[in-house]
């Protein structure tokens, strides 16, 4: 009953309703932008919004295929043959490209696939397009998956990354678990979600704003003396406040996730949930489908939320104003947004990728790993352990902080 009372006490505040309404509207707007801004092209010009999405989806009707070595070799040959005819080729002063029917019929419907294939043969940090496919020598075969594996090895052995032998073995072993041939298909909705996860930082901030007065608000109102002098004020009521905060945070998180994932999937469709991440980037080492990747990252963001609620409550128990709580929290949440990672495994990168903002971003292709002796963990695992640990530590400290508060 106490938890219900404290939960409703949070929920019925006018400020709570305003903050949550603004946060949900902002989340809907940010995750809806890719829908509004979406555009593709056909021979008649630009197709925008939902009409463009529907057109693009139609282009994938014949592309839901296993990317076998034979299929990839045949696809490369098709493009190479198009470049044989000079009438098909345009030139912008830097590179050649296909024009006219050769482009619209031979490339446009599968350009994303062609670029994926071309980039599998590129050097690390080099971006190639379909117009580089004529340079490939495939008379003995495409050797697509061998090339994929070789590119990953090049990335792992890059001296700037400074990976230990154990870390290289860890990532090589993980990449070896990716099933081949890759199944290709339409996955736009899931790609939008994965690339937008960091926008949920505003939802995390909104929850912290609502939770900030849980203890400090009692100090401001002068009701802390009444609570702490009550029979169960230092025990059951304090615990109920913490439980109600977690319950509210969980409910708010679910609402935001429904909006954040629901909008892209409603517009782009849920097609591709069972397809491998590697059809977006062939050097991703995680043997996951798009759905698995989304669920794992949602779980990590939830743990970040719980830890931030724990920190908010801890600060709220120590400070006499919710505004002071937010003055500390906002930099913690948003300063990392302006920090750029480098391409090494130095302390700066390792710390940066564990901060709240970066922890909302999956970073599936970054090869960020942490070594403890002979044990190697990837960033997703370390984030899970770290934020679960912080939650377990900070919630009891928040309870203790309010319990030991000295009434003025």
Query: Tens digit of pLDDT per residue, the chain (408 long)?
Result: 788 888 898 899 999 999 999 999 999 999 999 999 999 988 888 999 999 999 999 989 889 999 999 999 999 999 999 999 999 999 887 888 999 999 999 999 999 999 999 999 998 888 889 999 999 999 989 999 999 999 999 999 988 888 999 999 999 999 999 999 999 999 999 999 999 999 999 999 999 999 999 888 776 756 655 555 555 545 677 888 899 999 999 999 999 999 999 999 999 999 999 999 999 999 999 999 999 999 999 999 999 999 999 999 999 888 888 899 999 999 999 998 888 887 666 788 889 999 999 999 998 998 999 999 889 999 999 999 999 999 999 999 988 877 665 555
Q: What is the dihedral of CA 33, 34, 35, 36, to 10 degrees?
A: 50
Angle, nearest 10°, between helix axes 111-120 and 69-84?
A: 110
| Alpha-carbon span 268 to 245, nearest angstrom | 35
Collect contacts of 88-91 with beta carbons under 8 A, ≥24 apart.
Answer: none
Chain centroid to Cα 2, Å, comes to 36
The answer to whether the pTM exceeds 0.95 is: no
DSSP labels, 206-247: HHHHHHTHHHHHHHHHT-HHHHHHSTTTTTHHHHHHHHHHHH
* Domain ranges (residues) in the chain: 2-37+185-403, 65-142
φ, ψ at 75 (rounded to 5°): -65, -45
Q: Which residue has the tokens 């970073």?
A: 363
Query: Is residue 367 within 8 Å of 163, Cβ to Cβ?
Result: yes
Structure tokens belonging to residue 374: 């002979």
- What residues contact 378, with CB distance under 8 A and at least 6 apart? 170, 174, 368, 369, 370
Q: Which residue has the tokens 């999405």?
A: 53
């Amino acid at each position: 009953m106490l938890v219900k009372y404290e939960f409703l006490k949070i929920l019925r505040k006018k400020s709570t309703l305003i903050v949550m309404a603004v946060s949900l509207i902002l989340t809907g707007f940010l995750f809806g932008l890719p829908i509004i801004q979406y555009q593709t092209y056909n021979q008649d010009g630009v197709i925008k919004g939902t009409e463009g999405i529907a057109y693009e989806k139609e282009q994938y009707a014949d592309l839901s295929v296993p990317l076998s070595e034979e299929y990839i070799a045949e696809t490369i040959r098709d493009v190479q043959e198009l470049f044989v005819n000079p009438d098909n080729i345009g030139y912008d002063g830097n590179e050649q490209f296909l024009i006219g029917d050769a482009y619209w019929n031979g490339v446009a419907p599968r350009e994303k696939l062609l670029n994926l294939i071309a980039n599998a043969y590129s050097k690390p940090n080099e971006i190639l397009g379909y117009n580089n496919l004529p340079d490939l020598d495939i008379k003995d075969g495409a050797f697509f998956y061998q090339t994929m594996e070789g590119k990953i090895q090049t990335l792992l052995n890059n001296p700037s990354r400074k990976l230990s032998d154990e870390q290289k073995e860890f990532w090589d072993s993980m990449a070896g678990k990716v099933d081949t041939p890759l199944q290709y298909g339409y996955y736009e909705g899931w790609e939008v979600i994965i690339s937008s996860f960091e926008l949920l930082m505003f939802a995390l901030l909104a929850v912290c704003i609502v939770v900030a007065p849980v203890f400090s608000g009692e100090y401001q109102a002068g009701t802390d003396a009444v609570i702490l002098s009550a029979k169960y004020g230092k025990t059951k009521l304090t615990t109920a406040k913490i439980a109600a905060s977690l319950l509210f945070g969980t409910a708010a998180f679910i609402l935001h996730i429904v909006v954040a994932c629901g909008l892209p999937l409603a517009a782009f469709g849920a097609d591709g949930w069972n397809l491998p991440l590697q059809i977006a980037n062939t050097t991703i080492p995680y043997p996951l489908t798009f759905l698995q990747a989304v669920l794992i990252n949602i779980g990590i963001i939830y743990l970040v939320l719980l830890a931030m609620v724990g920190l908010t409550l801890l600060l709220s128990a120590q400070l006499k104003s919710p505004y002071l709580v937010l003055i500390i929290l906002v930099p913690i949440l948003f300063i990392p947004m302006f920090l750029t990672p480098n391409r090494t495994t130095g302390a700066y990168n390792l710390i940066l990728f564990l901060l709240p903002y970066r922890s909302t971003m999956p970073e599936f292709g970054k090869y960020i790993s942490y070594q403890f002796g002979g044990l190697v963990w990837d960033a997703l695992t370390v984030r899970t352990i770290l934020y679960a640990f912080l939650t377990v530590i900070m919630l009891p400290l928040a309870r203790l902080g309010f319990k030991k508060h000295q009434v003025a």
